[in-house]
Amino acid sequence: MALVTAAKPTAPGSSWSTGLAYRKDVVTGALAPLGSGQTAAWEHQVGLDPTGRYGFFSTTAAVVPGDVNGHTDVVRRDLETGTLTLVTADADGRTTTGPTGAVAPAEYGRVLPVSGDLVLLTTSQALLPADTNRLRDLYAKDLSTGAVLSPVR
C-alpha cells in the first residue's frame, strides 16, 4: 500500500514538518520511500502500479534533475532500481509550465497508474503544446515512449 506520513519511520514518536510518501509491504511491514528524502515540501497524491514495483507521488520539491518549474509535479519511483522519473513532463521529457501564482489543492491533480508505464493523470500543467488554458486537464501518458494523449477534448 502507499501512504503519506509525517512520522519518522526510524525515530518513533518524532515527526517531520512535512508528510513523506512511502510504500508499505503489508506482509513484512517494510517501508520503502517513494520520494528523495527531502523534508522541505509535502509528498502527496500517492499511488502504486498494479504490480507494486512503481510508486507515484506529487510534490513541489525538485526531486529529479531539470525540474525547475516550481509547480506540483507527479514523479514515479522504480522501487527495484530507485530511479525517479518526472511524469508531468512533456513528450520530450522537459518540465512544463503551469498556472502562475498559488494553485488550490484541488488543482494539484491526481495520478492513476494503469501499469508501471501507463498512467492517467490530471494536472494544470500543459503536457501538450495545444493546451493553453492553464486549467486542470486529463491526460494519458506512456512513460516508456513519452507519448502524451488527451483522452477528453
Q: Which residues of 142-153 are buried (b: 16+ CB within 10 A; e: fewer)?
A: ebeeeebeeeee
Domain residue ranges of the chain, discontinuous segments joined by + = 2-149
Q: Is the pLDDT of residue 153 over 60?
A: no
Encoded amino acid at 65, one letter: P
Tens of pLDDT, residue by residue over 58-116, are 998 999 998 888 888 899 999 999 999 999 998 888 888 776 655 666 666 789 999 99
> 3-state DSSP call for residue 76?
strand
Tens of pLDDT, residue by residue over 98-109, are 766 556 666 667
User: Does the predicted TM-score (pTM) go above 0.85?
Assistant: yes
Q: Which residues of 100-118 are buried (b: 16+ CB within 10 A; e: fewer)?
A: eeebeeebbbbbebeebeb
